[in-house]
Amino acid sequence: MDIYSRLTEEIIEELESVLDSGGVITKNIDVLENYSWDQAGRIWGHMPEAVVLPKNTEQVSSVMKIASRYRIPVTPRGAGSGLNGGAVPLAGGIVISLERMNSIIEIDPVNRVAVVEPGVVTNDLCRAAAEKGFMYAGYPMSTETSFIGGNFATNAGGGKVVRYGSTRRHILGAEAVLPSGEVISLGGRFRKDTWGYNILQLLIGSEGTLAVITKLIVNLEPKPGKTVNLLACYPDIDTLVESVSKVISSGKKIISCEFMDRNLVRYTTEYLGCRLPEQEKSEGYLIIQIEADNEGELEESYEVVGKICMSCGAFEVFVAESRTDSAAMWNVRQNGLEGMRAKDPWACSSGDLMVPLSAVPEMLRRINSAGREWGLEMGIISHIGDGNIHPIPIKPEGMSPEKWAVYSEEFFEALIKEAISLGGVGSGEHGVGHVKQHIIIQSKSPAELELLRNIKRSFDPLNILNPGKMFLPLGN
């Protein structure tokens, strides 16, 4: 873009002077290409001029000061596991990868917090917390690949949102570098705050457009008590959906309530080389995880929930008898995208939809109807307990990848409009990035858009931090 400067040898030398050896990559095209795209797909990618790999806050600050001085665009990047092009350097410039900032600095049992750097793999945080008798409950389903900083950037959710909430609920503090290079500290090791505008909450879900996060203080929950997993099998989706609100409102401690449809289970079990019970008869499954304080309470809880499912039309409810049984259920759920992509490498998962729980039956009907209208086979997975639905359509045979990239996003745009008409929004956890930008702009009022853009301009008047994402196209 003409409004930005390109990297010169002099600027590259400045960057090298503030980073450790190997911290600036400019000439290795293969490496640069790896940082040009995320899980939205290479077709949405754009090459950076440089990748920088800071090791601490001071280095991030120095990079941003150089970028601000010369008006160089900077794209923050975590694991690159996002699905909407949020980590794609649309304007070239610098990708600032936080992968080397991967320390779990402290597990603080008194204040029930962990202090971590943004490049910590979410599952590593979960394991470290568990060793101290705690649980980090804000993690998404991509726990083994995503970084905690990326979870922060998209306000990621997951299977436990129905009980514990999304990432936002579990962030207590952050250290952030502004586009100018200034460093600010927000929040802390406390859980109540009426001390001015809450900038921390504003940054959560801002997709790296307002600041670069260099440290996080996250809430830890006590380890859950005894848990059990149920697998409920249904002959049709309508009866399955009827169960959900009754299960959630049963008074039992429901940790998770996850949905998988027939196609997703079929292709994922083929990919994994396993089977779920009653696959020939089931149009859909619920995985329900229940918590209780003791064995007696747990048994009473799963009996109540199982009866609810059966009364709503489930023809079988299986109780996992062991960790192995539980792992087998969740393995299919957690590998749903991989299973669909084993069937078709171009299977698209860039869209997730959020609707009120009461609107889930109608939204699923509209998704399936739209799939037939658009000539698409798909699988569906859902954090159904909180109304978050993930359709995964398969590229029609004979359609080019280039046409599919456009066609699939047009399909998701149609679905998002349906979700909004039902009182929902276009994403519950995947975010906007640049792939969904035009849709969110259409869905917001002019007054709200102006407020949002003014927030961006207040933080980033030069528009150098992750430009072209969310509400501001390139050049604005």
State how far the alpha carbon of 71 is from the alpha carbons of 3, 52, 449, 456, 461, in Å: 8, 16, 25, 16, 11
Residue among 465, 476, 471, 467 nearest 210 (CA)? 465
Identify whether the C-beta of residue 165 lies closer than 8 Å to the C-beta of residue 219. Answer: no
State how far the alpha carbon of 465 is from the alpha carbons of 9, 235, 258, 412, 427, in Å: 21, 49, 36, 27, 22
pLDDT tens, position by position, 355-393: 999 999 999 999 999 999 999 999 999 999 999 999 999
Residue among 456, 434, 473, 458 nearest 209 (CA)? 456
**Sheet containing strand 226-234, strands side by side:** 316-319, 226-234, 284-292, 253-261, 378-383, 388-393, 353-354
Angle between helices 262-272 and 336-343 (to 10 degrees): 80
Could you give the CA distance from residue 400 to residue 347 in angstroms, rounded to a whole number? 13
What CA dihedral angle connects 303, 307, 313 and 317, to 10 degrees? 10
Return the amino acid letter for 43.
Answer: I
The pLDDT-based confidence of 475 (bands split at 50, 70, 90) is low
pLDDT tens, position by position, 200-243: 999 999 999 999 999 999 999 998 889 999 999 999 988 898 89
Burial of 345 (0-12, 13-18, 19+ CB in 10 A): exposed
Give all domains of the chain, ordered by start, each with its CATH number. Answer: 9-100 (3.30.43.10), 104-222 (3.30.465.10), 226-338 (3.30.70.2190), 344-434 (3.30.70.2740)
Identify whether the C-beta of residue 439 lies closer than 8 Å to the C-beta of residue 84. Answer: no
pLDDT tens, position by position, 75-119: 999 988 887 888 999 999 999 999 999 999 999 999 999 999 999
pTM beyond cutoff 0.75: yes
Could you give the CA distance from residue 7 to residue 11 in angstroms, rounded to a whole number? 6
